Chain A
Amino acid sequence: MSSIANWFGTMDSINIGLIVSGFMLFMVIIGVRVAFAAATAGFVGLVWIFSAKLGFEKGLLVAMKMAGTIPHSKVTTISLSLIPTFILIGYLAYHAGLTKALFTAAKRWVGWLPGGLGVATVFSTAGFAAVSGASVATSAVFARIAIPEMLKVGYQKSFAAGVVAAGGTLASLIPPSAILVIYAIIVEQDVGVLLMAGLLPGIVSALIYAGLVIMMATINKDLGPPVRKYSWGERLESLPGTAPIFFVIGIIVICIYGGVGTPTEAGALGAFVILVMALRKGMRLGDLKEALIESAKLTVMIFTIIWGVLLYVRFLGFADLPTAFSDWITGLDQSPMITLVCILLAYAVLGMFMDAIGMLLLTLPITYPAVIALNGGVDVSAVDSAFGVSGVGCAIWFGIIAVKMCELCLITPPIGLNCFVVAGVRKDISVQEVFKGVTPFFAADVFTIAVLIAFPSIVLWLPSLLGI
C-alpha cells in the first residue's frame, strides 16, 4: 500500500499531467458531460499534485479550496457578460420575424443571378448569423424558408439542401459567435477584438459560397435557374423588415470599433431592439418566458464549460504539461507550417467523431500554447515569426482558423449535424443527398481555410484598426 502511495507521490508533474489528461479523455468517451469531465480532471490533478507535496489530507483541502474559488472568480468577469445578451438576441430573433424578411429581401436583390435563390440563401443566412450565434438553428430555419422556394423554381434537391446546410455554418464566424467568445476567454484574449476578427473571414466565406453557387449554376443550367427580376421599388420595399439586423450590426461595429461602448453594451442594445421588434410582432408573455428560460439554459451550458475547462487549465499550469508539449512541438524537425497543418488535420479527423466545439475547448489549453510557441512566442514581432503574424496576432488568427475548422465538421459525414438538420426538416430529402449537395461547399471551406492561413491579414486587418 505504501509503495503505491510512494509511486503516486514521486511521479513527476508532467506524467501526472499526461495521466490525468488521459483520464479526462476516458471520461469524455464514456459520456461524462464535457464541462464536468474537464472540471473533474482538473480537480483530481490538483489533489494529486498537492498531495504529493503536503500529504493527502492537507493536499485534498488545498485542492478543494483552490477549485472552489474558480467557478465564481472565473465567471463573474465583466467581459463574459456579453454572452447572455447575444444568446437572448438569437432566441428573440425567431419571434421578430427577421428570417423571412431577410430571405425576401435577398431574393429580390440577387434572385436574378444564375443560382439566384441559392445566392439569396447564402446572404440571408449570413445576415441571420449577425443576430444568431448558432449554426444548427440557422440551417433549420432556412431549410423551412428557402428550400421550398428553390424547389418550386426547379432547383436540384441536393443542391438546394447543400446550400442551406453550408450557409448555416456562417454563424460561427460572423459576430456574435459564441465559440469565439469562449475561445477568447480560454486563451485570455480580448473578446471584442476576436469578434471583430471573425467578421471579415465570415464575409469572405459567404462571398466564396455565393461565387461557388453562381459558378455551379452557370456551368449546369439545370442546377438552379434564376428567378424573375424585381423592380427597384420592390427591392427597396423589402428593406425595412431587415432593418433591425443592420441596426444590430451597426451597433456592434460602432460600439466595438468606434470604442464608444463595450461589447456587452452592444449586445444589450441589440437585444433591446430585437425585443421591442418581437413584442411589436405580437410575441406573447409565454413566448418571452420560454425565450428567457432557453437563454438561461444555453448561458449556463456555456459558462459551465468555461469554468470547467479553466479548472483543468489551472491544474495544467501546475503540471507544466503545456510547456512540455510546446517544447516538443517546437523541437520537431519540420517546418512550423507543416506542424500547424497537422494540428488542424487532427481537429478535422477528431471532429468527425465528436462534438467539434467540445473537442476544441478541451484541447485548446495544450494546443494553443504550442501554436504560439511555433510562431515564435508571445512577444514575437510579425517579421521574426514563423507564420508572419505577431504573438497577439497569432492568438487571434489561430482562433479564427480553429473555429472555421469546427464549422467544417458540421458538414462532414458521419455526424455533420447541419446536414442531419436539413434532412430532418425536409422528409423528402435524404441525409445522403444533403451530404452530396454540400460537398462542393466543403471544398470551398477547405479553400477558405487555406486562404486564411496564407493571408493572415484577412483576419488581422480589422483588429489592426483597433490597434492590435
Chain B
Amino acid sequence: MSSSSDILQDDSALSRLDRLYFKLEEFFALLGGITILLLVFLAVTNVIGRWVFSLPVSGYIDWVEQSMAIFAFFGIAYCQRLGGHIRMDIVVSHIKGRWLWFCELSSTLIMLIITLALIYGSYLHFLRAYTNGDSSMDISLPIWPAKLVIPIALSVLAIRLILQIWGYSRAIINNCDSPVAVPLIEDAATQAAKEAATVAEKHGLNGEDESEGSIK
C-alpha cells in the first residue's frame, strides 16, 4: 500500500533546503515510531499486570488515546516528502513535461489549501480544549497537548507542500524532465523492483545464493 519515490538532488537552494527540512521530518517520524514502541511496551505491561498481578496500568486507555495523535500525525510530512500517501497515478504517469508538472502543481496546491483550512480548524479545536481545561475520562489527563499535535504536524506538512510547490513551479519554468526535491512518478515495474530491493536488503538476500540461515 505504501511506496516511496526517488527524490533527486543538486546544489540549488531548494534542494539544500529540501534535504535540511527532511532531517526535521525524519525526526518527527522517528518520534512517531518511538511512540509506537512505547505503546507496545505499555500494552504488554498492562496485559501482564492484569493477568499476573490483577493490577492493570492506571489510566491505560487515557494514555493510549493521548499518545495516538503523535503516531497518527507526526510522520505526515515525512510520508508526503517520500510520496508515500497513496494515490492513483495511472493518468498522470502518461503525461510528460510541463503538463505533468502543472498537474502536480495543481494537486499539491489543493492539498495545501485543505491543510491550511485544517490547521486553523484543528487549532480552534485545541484552543477550546485549552481554555475549558478539558481532561480525559479516567485519570483526568489534560487533552489539549494531544489536540495541539494536529495543527503542529499539519504545519510541518504545509511547509513541505510549499517546498514541493516551489519544486514543481521551477520545473514548469525551466521545463526540465527531472526536477529536484519532489517525488517522481514511477511505473509499476520500477516501484516493484524497488520494493523487492528493500526487502532483499533487509533479508540480506543477494541474488540466488540461498543457504539456510542467510537471513541477517
Instruction: Judge: A and B partners, yes or no.
Output: yes
Residues of A within 8 A of B (CB): 27-37, 39-40, 43, 64-69, 71-72, 75-78, 80-81, 84-85, 87-88, 94-95, 97, 99-100, 104, 134, 136-137, 140-141, 143-145, 148-149, 178, 260-261, 264-265, 267-269, 271-272, 275, 281-282, 287, 289, 291-305, 353-355, 357-358, 415, 417, 420-421, 423-425, 431
Distance in angstroms between the alpha carbons of A400 and B104 in the assembled complex:
35
- A sample of 14 cross-chain residue pairs with beta-carbon separation below 8 angstroms, ordered by A number, consists of A33-B85, A40-B110, A40-B111, A68-B118, A71-B154, A81-B39, A81-B65, A100-B213, A140-B199, A268-B42, A281-B216, A299-B75, A355-B86, A421-B195
Q: Number of contacting residues on B, CB 8 A?
A: 84
A269-B44 in contact (CB<8A): yes
| Chain A minimum-CB-distance residue to B92 | A31
Q: Cβ of B85: which chain A residues have Cβ within 8 Å of it?
A: 33-36, 301, 304
B192-A178 in contact (CB<8A): no
Kindly provide the distance from the CB of A142 to the nearest chain B CB, expressed in whole angstroms: 10
Q: Does B87 contact A (CB under 8 A)?
A: yes
Q: Mask for B103-116, Cβ within 8 A of A = 1, else 0?
A: 11011001101110
B71-A299 in contact (CB<8A): yes
B192-A415 in contact (CB<8A): no
Q: Cβ of B114: which chain A residues have Cβ within 8 Å of it?
A: 36, 39-40, 43
Given contacts A297-B84, A304-B76, 17 further A-B contacts (CB under 8 A): A30-B106, A32-B87, A34-B87, A64-B124, A65-B121, A69-B122, A136-B195, A141-B199, A144-B203, A265-B44, A268-B44, A296-B36, A298-B2, A299-B32, A302-B1, A421-B195, A424-B195
Q: Does B55 contact A (CB under 8 A)?
A: no
Kindly provide the distance from the CB of B68 to the nearest chain A CB, expressed in whole angstroms: 5
Kindly provide the distance from the CB of A14 to the nearest chain B CB, expressed in whole angstroms: 23
- Known contacts being A358-B87, A358-B88, is A296 close to B107, with CB within 8 Å? no
B47-A265 in contact (CB<8A): yes
| Chain A minimum-CB-distance residue to B149 | A72
SS class of chain A's interface: helix, strand, loop or mixed? helix
> Considering the complex of A and B, which 6 residue pairs feature the smallest CB-CB distances, nearest first?
A68-B121, A292-B33, A268-B43, A296-B32, A424-B192, A33-B85
| Chain A minimum-CB-distance residue to B51 | A260
Q: Does B189 contact A (CB under 8 A)?
A: yes
A289-B30 in contact (CB<8A): yes
| Chain B minimum-CB-distance residue to A87 | B36
B39-A268 in contact (CB<8A): yes
Distance in angstroms between the alpha carbons of A357 and B128 in the assembled complex:
36
Q: Mask for B171-211, Cβ within 8 A of A = 1, else 0?
A: 00000000000000000110111011001101101001010
B68-A81 in contact (CB<8A): yes
- Selected contact of B44 from candidates A66, A272, A287, A305, CB within 8 Å: A272
- Known contacts being A68-B123, A265-B46, is A137 close to B195, with CB within 8 Å? yes
Q: Does B24 contact A (CB under 8 A)?
A: no
B47-A141 in contact (CB<8A): no
A297-B196 in contact (CB<8A): no
A28-B79 in contact (CB<8A): no
B107-A31 in contact (CB<8A): yes
Kindly provide the distance from the CB of B4 to the nearest chain A CB, expressed in whole angstroms: 8
Distance in angstroms between the alpha carbons of A355 and B3 in the assembled complex:
12
Q: Mask for B27-45, Cβ within 8 A of A = 1, else 0?
A: 0011011101101111110
A85-B212 in contact (CB<8A): no
| Chain A minimum-CB-distance residue to B77 | A300
Q: Cβ of B212: which chain A residues have Cβ within 8 Å of it?
A: 100, 104
Q: Cβ of B8: which chain A residues have Cβ within 8 Å of it?
A: none
Q: Cβ of B125: which chain A residues have Cβ within 8 Å of it?
A: 65, 68-69, 72
A64-B120 in contact (CB<8A): yes
Kindly provide the distance from the CB of B104 to the nearest chain A CB, expressed in whole angstroms: 7
Q: Cβ of A292: which chain B residues have Cβ within 8 Å of it?
A: 30, 33-34, 36-37
Q: Cβ of A425: which chain B residues have Cβ within 8 Å of it?
A: 192-193, 196, 200
Q: Cβ of A294: which chain B residues have Cβ within 8 Å of it?
A: 33
Distance in angstroms between the alpha carbons of A387 and B200 in the assembled complex:
45
Q: Cβ of A272: which chain B residues have Cβ within 8 Å of it?
A: 40-41, 44
Q: Cβ of B80: which chain A residues have Cβ within 8 Å of it?
A: 33
Q: Does B7 contact A (CB under 8 A)?
A: no
B110-A27 in contact (CB<8A): yes
Q: Cβ of B202: which chain A residues have Cβ within 8 Å of it?
A: 94-95, 287
Q: Cβ of A71: which chain B residues have Cβ within 8 Å of it?
A: 73, 118, 122, 150, 154
Q: Does B155 contact A (CB under 8 A)?
A: no
Distance in angstroms between the alpha carbons of A39 and B114 in the assembled complex:
7
A94-B203 in contact (CB<8A): yes
Distance in angstroms between the alpha carbons of A272 and B46 in the assembled complex:
13
Q: Does B52 contact A (CB under 8 A)?
A: no
The residue among A34, A294, A353 with the most chain B CB atoms within 10 A of its own CB is: A294
B64-A65 in contact (CB<8A): no
The residue among A72, A148, A260, A303 with the most chain B CB atoms within 10 A of its own CB is: A72
Q: Does B117 contact A (CB under 8 A)?
A: yes
A300-B72 in contact (CB<8A): yes
| Chain A minimum-CB-distance residue to B187 | A420
A295-B33 in contact (CB<8A): yes
Q: Cβ of B26: which chain A residues have Cβ within 8 Å of it?
A: 293
Distance in angstroms between the alpha carbons of A281 and B216 in the assembled complex:
7
- Selected contact of A34 from candidates B69, B86, B154, CB within 8 Å: B86
- Selected contact of B68 from candidates A31, A80, A261, A420, CB within 8 Å: A80
B64-A78 in contact (CB<8A): yes
Q: Does B146 contact A (CB under 8 A)?
A: yes
Distance in angstroms between the alpha carbons of A162 and B177 in the assembled complex:
36
A355-B208 in contact (CB<8A): no
Q: Cβ of B41: which chain A residues have Cβ within 8 Å of it?
A: 268, 272
Q: Cβ of B84: which chain A residues have Cβ within 8 Å of it?
A: 297-298, 301
The residue among A31, A293, A302, A357 with the most chain B CB atoms within 10 A of its own CB is: A31
| Chain A minimum-CB-distance residue to B208 | A148
Distance in angstroms between the alpha carbons of A215 and B111 in the assembled complex:
51
Q: Cβ of B215: which chain A residues have Cβ within 8 Å of it?
A: 97, 99-100, 281
Q: Cβ of B191: which chain A residues have Cβ within 8 Å of it?
A: 417, 420
B39-A296 in contact (CB<8A): no
Distance in angstroms between the alpha carbons of A35 and B157 in the assembled complex:
14
